[in-house]
Every structure is written in structure tokens, then in C-alpha cells.
């Protein structure tokens, strides 16, 4: 039987588990240190931990539940990993190099049920949620890859923007955040972590109440209900008014800036009129708002959607700026590999189907 990943436990949960199994509290700190600071890949390497403790950990947990299936490296340093889970499912994880550090984009579900019309991942409906351990292990595997290069590089930022809707796998995402933030472990600063949701308003309230200090990004992609429902089915369940109410609550509770993701699709949502509507929608929240404009990355699966022209992108940006909205155009990374989210996995799944 497959054993769960040890990385799924927060330090408190590990401490409690070891106490319940008759071990001293300090063992938890030792094991934690071996996992996240020394980064061993076998329990038997934890050489200051007694044999009974090693045995019970080995019986109940696994350190490596993910195996690397494919790795694509871009000229700009972006690396896309396709990991195989214990049950054979494939997930994507991406390492990006920025001036400010190394950022990893993690996946939270196998497939996704949100069904955004522009997304390669949305075509493969959700198979299951990832455990918190499987989400943490994506970071660990990337960090181990960096360790093997011997350049003393560290994952410094995390974006929860890979395949899946993190708020549809809420508790595992929250446990994952607790583990990676832990100052005795990976110690990735909360302000260096961004969680992106397609707009599950009910969960934005819950997330605000947790006061985790991590950044929130909301995939808006359209400034009115008619258009948003056309490109994002989720808008039927959580229309823009409900979404903006939940964001008001989040801002009130956290006083932290919200990023609005806006994919620019040619002649769909990239007109000046939509930029004006977007500015209006953000309205008096502009001091705590940032709009991330993302030129659409065409994928074979959605041939009818094209990237906006450079002129349309400039006009959209200028219109927002003139209205006093903080915004930027996201620079493309990994353009020479399967850059769009879900593209690599989608291709590999198709290969598997052909083989069947
Ligand atoms: S964009 Fe995100 S939420 Fe929408 S279908 Fe794709 S993975 Fe799911």
C-alpha cells in the first residue's frame, strides 16, 4: 500500500504524531531539520535519530512519493517538471528565474473542474485533490534539483497558480502554506507566496479570516458578468458582485493588496471599453489593487483564442494607467517550452492515450 508523504505534516502535526507513538518531542525538531534543512531523501540518513523512531517513520511515511517523468529547460532558465504521483497521475511544476529570486509554481489538483475556456488544464477534468504532502514535495523536488547543481540556490518565492483551483482543495493548500512558511524549515516568507483563485468568493472569506499574510491573486479576466460567464463558468456560481464583496472583506481584514489576473485575448476581452469597465470595477480599491495583464499564450486546444495585438495590449495598459490603476504586463517565461499552464501535462496525457 502506498504510504503518505511525510511532507504533509506541519511541525505541530509531526510533533503530535511522534508523541502519540511514544517518542520525545525533540525528535520532531530533529526530523524536521533533516527534512527541510539537510534535505535527506531516506529516513535512514537521519543519523542522530534513534532506530525505533526511524523504523516507525519508515513504516508509516514515505519521503519520495513523486518521481520526475519529464523535465523541459528553457533558454531563459525556466524549468518545467512533470512529476508522476504514486497512483500514476502526472502533475506540472515550474521553476522560474526572476531578478528578485527563484519562484516555483505549484499544482494543487490533478486536473481542474473550474473549466475556464482558455485553459489547457481545464480540458482534463479533476481526477483528485493533491494531498498537502504532494504539494510540498513539488517544492522539495525543485529544491533538491537546485541542490544537485551545487550553486547554493534556494527557492525563495512560491506561486500557487499551477493546475487546479487551490480553494477547491482548501485545507490541503492551507497545510502546505504552513509547512513552507515554517521558520525552522524552508522558511519561505509569507510575503513571497501568492495564492491564485478563480474567484471562489466563499473561500476568500475563509482565507481572509486565517490571516496567513500570504498574497492573494484573483483571476478576473473580464470586467462584466456577461463576458466573464462566457470565458469562466465559475462566474455563474460567484458573479462579479459577490466576488468583489468577498474582496472588500479580504481587504478590510488584511489590508493587503490584491492582484487581479487579466489574460488579454484578442477581440474577446481586450477592448478599451473593457479596460474602462475594469478601472470602474476596481474603483476606490485602487490603492490596494494591482492588475497583472497577461498576453494570452495560444494553445492547440483553443485555436479560436489568439493573443492580443501589441497595440491592443498597450492601449489596455495605458487606459488603466490613465485611470490611476496600478498595472503591469507580465513578461513571458519559458516561451520555447510548453509554456502555457497545463500544456506539457496535456501533451503527455495525449501521448498516453495514443499508446493505449
Ligand atoms: S485557469 Fe486555473 S482554475 Fe481555470 S481551468 Fe485552468 S487550472 Fe482551473
- So which residues are the catalytic ones? 92, 341
The annotated binding site is made up of 112, 116, 119, 164-165, 196, 219-221, 297
pLDDT of residue 122: 58
Write a three-state SS string for the chain: CCCCEHHHCCHHHHHHHHHHCCCCHHHHHHHHHHHHCCCCCCHHHCCCCCHHHHHHHHHHCECCCCEEEEEEECCCCCEEEEEECCCCCEEEEEEEEECCEEEEECCCEECCCCCCCCCCHHHCCCCEECCHHHHHHHHHHHHHHHHHHCCCCCEEEEEECCCCCHHHHHHHHHHHHHHHHCCCCCCCCHHHEEEEECCCHHHHHHHHHHCCCCEEEEECCCCCHHHHHHHCCHHHHCCHHHHHHHHHHHHHHHCCCEEEEEEEECCCCCCHHHHHHHHHHHHHHHHHEEEEEEECCCCHHHCCCCECCHHHHHHHHHHHHHCCCCEEECCCCCCCCCCCCCHHHHHHHHHHHHHC
pLDDT of residue 9: 97
Enumerate residue ranges in the chain where pLDDT < 70.
121-124, 300-302, 332-356
Does the C-beta of 119 come closer than 6 Å to ligand 1?
yes
- Read off the pTM: 0.93
User: For residue 342, how far is its CA from the centre of ligand 1 (angstroms)?
Assistant: 9
Does the C-beta of 162 come closer than 6 Å to ligand 1?
no
Q: Model confidence over 297-351: pLDDT tens digits?
A: 887 666 789 999 999 999 999 999 999 999 999 876 666 666 555 556 666 655 5
pLDDT of residue 330: 85
pLDDT of residue 108: 97
pLDDT of residue 115: 87
Amino acid at each position: 500500500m502506498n504510504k503518505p508523504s511525510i511532507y504533509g505534516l506541519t511541525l505541530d502535526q509531526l510533533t503530535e504524531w511522534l508523541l502519540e507513538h511514544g517518542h520525545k518531542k525533540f525528535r520532531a525538531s530533529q526530523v524536521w531539520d533533516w527534512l527541510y534543512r539537510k534535505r535527506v531523501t531516506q529516513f535512514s540518513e537521519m543519523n542522530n535519530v534513534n532506530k525505533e523512531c526511524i523504523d516507525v517513520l519508515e513504516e508509516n511515511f514515505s519521503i519520495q512519493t513523486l518521481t520526475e517523468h519529464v523535465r523541459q529547460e528553457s533558454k531563459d532558465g525556466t524549468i518545467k517538471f512533470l512529476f508522476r504521483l504514486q497512483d500514476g497521475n502526472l502533475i506540472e511544476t515550474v521553476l522560474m528565474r526572476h531578478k528578485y529570486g527563484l519562484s516555483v509554481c505549484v499544482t494543487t489538483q490533478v486536473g481542474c473542474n473550474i473549466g475556464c475556456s482558455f485553459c489547457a488544464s481545464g480540458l482534463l477534468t479533476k481526477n483528485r485533490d493533491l494531498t498537502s504532502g504532494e504539494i510540498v514535495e513539488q517544492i522539495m523536488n525543485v529544491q533538491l534539483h537546485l541542490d544537485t547543481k551545487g550553486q547554493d540556490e534556494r527557492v525563495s518565492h512560491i506561486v500557487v497558480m499551477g493546475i487546479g483551483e487551490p480553494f477547491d482543495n482548501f485545507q490541503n493548500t492551507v497545510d502546505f502554506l504552513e509547512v513552507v512558511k515554517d521558520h525552522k524549515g524552508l522558511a519561505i516568507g509569507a510575503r513571497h507566496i501568492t495564492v491564485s483563485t478563480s474567484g471562489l468568493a466563499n473561500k476568500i472569506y475563509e482565507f481572509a479570516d486565517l490571516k496567513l499574510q500570504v498574497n492573494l491573486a484573483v483571476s478576473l479576466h473580464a470586467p462584466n458578468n456577461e463576458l466573464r460567464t462566457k470565458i469562466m463558468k465559475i462566474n455563474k456560481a460567484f458573479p462579479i458582485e459577490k466576488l468583489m464583496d468577498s474582496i472588500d472583506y479580504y481587504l478590510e481584514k488584511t489590508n493587503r493588496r490584491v492582484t487581479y489576473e487579466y489574460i488579454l485575448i484578442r477581440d474577446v476581452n481586450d477592448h478599451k471599453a473593457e479596460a474602462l469597465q475594469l478601472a470602474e470595477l476596481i474603483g476606490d480599491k485602487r490603492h490596494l489593487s494591482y492588475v497583472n495583464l497577461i498576453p494570452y499564450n495560444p494553445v492547440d486546444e483553443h485555436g479560436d483564442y489568439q493573443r492580443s495585438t501589441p497595440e491592443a495590449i498597450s492601449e489596455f495598459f495605458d487606459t488603466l494607467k490613465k485611470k490611476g490603476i496600478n498595472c503591469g504586463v507580465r513578461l513571458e517565461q519559458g516561451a520555447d517550452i510548453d509554456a502555457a499552464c497545463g500544456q506539457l501535462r496535456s501533451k503527455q496525457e495525449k501521448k498516453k492515450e495514443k499508446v493505449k
